[in-house]
Chain A
Amino acid sequence: MCLAIPAKIITKNGNLAQVDFGTAVLREVNVSLVKAKVGDYVLVHAGYAIQVLDEQEALETLRLWNEILQTEA
């Protein structure tokens, strides 16, 4: 119950989507809590997508890590 797992939206019909958790088996997930489109990655918890994963945000996080490491000589 505690885990939320990323999955890619393959098809979407209203509040339901078929998603791929990387196992090539598609599962149905409720996407009514997020604004997501086909091709987006979402975080899935107990059958509901709770967040759309933003690639730009992920890249920014990585950039910040590198910046922290480069400062403080």
Chain B
Amino acid sequence: MTEKAKFRDAKLASRVTDKIRCAAQSEPTIKICHVCGTHEYTITHFGIRTLLPSNIEVIAGPGCPVCIVPASEVDEAVELAQRGIVVTCFGDVLRVPGSEMSLLDAKAQRGDIRVVYSLTDAIKMAQTEKNKEFVFFAVGFETTSPSTAVEVANKPPRNLSFLVSHRLIPPAMKLLAEMKTWAWTGSSHQATSAQS
């Protein structure tokens, strides 16, 4: 990107918000729901809610795939750790409660549970520690599932298995569509996978 692609333009933002205020003037409450962690971060970081008129509500929808991991799937990961298998996972799934405990609790009980930033880290661990069995707890929406898929297709180490807990955005969007929401925005990065 060069200086030409300037999205941080206060003048443009001001013109857009004036236009929105004008268009929303005589409308009842308008609810816009987004379902993306990056959208919520951007909206909060740049104070977008404060720019909008009071009759436009921006709602953070269920954009977090970690938050909707069923307790039963956490139980499966915990059981694997209790059987002596090394469980690798993203950091944000560590505290999700299972029916008896979270992976963090299992780690405190000497389960070998390792937080990774990326599946590539789990692969490197499995390649280095050939005498151990590894599992990658694969959570995430369509943004993340391609990276799991590409590694499964590329012959991962024999001592690495996948506990798949990926989720799809469209069914969640369908549920939201049945609720009284005026509009919703799709997850931006999920859309990059969808369009690919």
| Residue from the list B4, B119, B188 in contact with A46, Cβ < 8 A | B119
Is B158 in the interface zone, CB < 8 Å from A?
A: no
A62 touching B143, Cβ below 8 Å: no
Interface size class for chain A? 20 to 34
Contacts A1-B91, A1-B92, A47-B117 given; does A55 touch B4 at CB 8 Å: yes
Is A50 in the interface zone, CB < 8 Å from B?
A: yes
Interface residues of A in 1-60 (CB under 8 A from B): 1-4, 6, 28, 30, 32-33, 41, 43, 45-48, 50-51, 53, 55, 58-59
What number of residue pairs across chains A and B have CB atoms under 8 A from each other?
91
A69 touching B189, Cβ below 8 Å: no
Main secondary structure of the interface of A (DSSP, over half): mixed
Interface size class for chain B? 35 or more
Residues in A neighbouring B140, C-beta threshold 8 A: 1, 46
Kindly supply a per-residue 1/0 record for chain B positions 68-110, scoring 1 wherever the CB is within 8 Å of any chain A CB and 0 otherwise.
0000000000000000000000111000000000000000000
| Residue from the list A47, A58, A59, A69 in contact with B118, Cβ < 8 A | A47
Is B181 in the interface zone, CB < 8 Å from A?
A: no
A6 vs B5: C-alpha distance when bound (angstroms): 14
21 A–B contacts, CB within 8 A, in A order: A1-B37, A1-B92, A2-B36, A2-B37, A2-B64, A3-B38, A4-B188, A6-B1, A30-B120, A45-B147, A46-B140, A47-B118, A47-B120, A47-B121, A48-B120, A50-B146, A50-B189, A53-B1, A62-B12, A65-B16, A69-B16
